[in-house]
Chain A
C-alpha cells in the first residue's frame, strides 16, 4: 500500500468513527480545542435523504433498501484544511463538529489529539457494543442442517 492510499484509508476510518461518535462527545471535544479558526462553511450543515443500497448475501445484484436521513457539512479551516462530516440522523450541529474534527485530524499537529479524545473512545465503545450484541445473539444460536434436494 502506498503512503497516499494508506492515508486515504486511515482518514476513511477516522471519518467513519466521527460519524458514529456520540454528539455530546463531539461537542465536548470541540469545546476543548477552544477557539477554532473555522474559515468557511463550504456547505452549511444540512439534512437530507440518501438511498441505502444493499446486496443479498453481500454479493447479489445491488438493490435499493430504502432511504435514510443524513446530515452533512463541509468546513474549511483558516489553515486551508477541508473537513467533511456525514452522519445518520438530523443532528446538524454534530455534523458540523464532525467536519471540523475531520479537518483537524488532517493536520499533523492536531491529529493525535483528535485520535486520543474522539476516535479511541468511540472505537472502544463500538467494539464493546458489537461484542455485547454478538454475545447476545450467540446465546440463542441455532444451527440448521439441511439437505439439498437433488436436481431432477
Chain B
C-alpha cells in the first residue's frame, strides 16, 4: 500500500514535470547526425573544439551541447547519471527513454553540470580488461575552454602537441583526469561542453602539464 502511495505521488510529480518539458531537436534526424559527427570528430581529434546543434528548448540547467549529446547518444539501454535535477531527468527520460543510473558505477553516461561538486571519478565505471567499453562517458559542463593554454595533449589523433585548458574543474577531478591515461585500456572518456561547443578527451590521450 505504502509503495503504491509513493508511486502515485511520483506520478503526480512526473505530470507536473511533464508540463515543463521542452521540445527536443528541431530536426530530429539531421540534428542527431550532426551531433554524432561532432562527438565522433571531437574524440578522434582530442583537444579540437567542435560545434554541436543547439536544441532550442533545452532545459535551463543543461548547455545546448550537453542537451544535444544526451538527445543523440542516450536511449533505453544507457543508464544516465545526472546531477542537474529532476527537470533534466524528466526531459531526458521523455525524449530518449534513458533510465537514471542508481549509482555512478552503473552509468553509461554521466552529465556533470557542477564539476567542483561531482563525485570522485573513480566512482564511475572504467570498464574491465575484458570489456573496456563498459565504461562511463563523462560529459562535463565547463565555463572556459582554451586551446592556447593549459595541458599539452599527445597521442592518437594529435599530430604534434595540442594544448587544452578546461576550467573550472575541482582539484580532485583534475588529478583524476591526469591519472586517467595510466589505466588504459580501461578508463574514462571525457566530453567537455560549453554553450554549443564540445571538446573530447578520450582515455588514449596523454596529458602533460608542461613540455619536457
Give the interface of A toward B (CB within 8 A).
2, 4, 40-44, 46, 76, 80, 82
Contacts and interface: CB of A to CB of B under 8 A. Distances in A.
Nearest to B24: A43
Contacts of B94: 42
Interface string B113-124: 000000000000
B11 A41 contact: no
Interface of A is mostly: strand
B143 to A, nearest CB: 30
Contacts of A43: 24, 95
A69 B57 CA distance: 29
Nearest to B25: A44
B8 interface: yes
Given A43-B24, A44-B28, A82 B19 contact: yes
B183 interface: no
20 contacts: A2-B8, A4-B8, A4-B11, A40-B22, A40-B23, A40-B57, A41-B23, A42-B21, A42-B22, A42-B23, A42-B24, A42-B94, A43-B24, A43-B95, A44-B28, A46-B28, A76-B19, A80-B19, A82-B18, A82-B19
A42 to B, nearest CB: 6
Contacts of A46: 28
Q: Which of B18, B22, B57, B95 has the most CB of A within 10 A?
A: B18
Contacts of B11: 4
Interface in B94-121: 94-95
Given A42-B24, A43-B24, A82-B18, 6 more contacts: A2-B8, A4-B8, A4-B11, A40-B22, A42-B22, A42-B23
Interface string B145-169: 0000000000000000000000000
Contacts of A40: 22-23, 57
A91 B187 CA distance: 46
Nearest to A79: B19
Contacts of B24: 42-43
A47 to B, nearest CB: 11
Contacts of B19: 76, 80, 82
B10 to A, nearest CB: 12
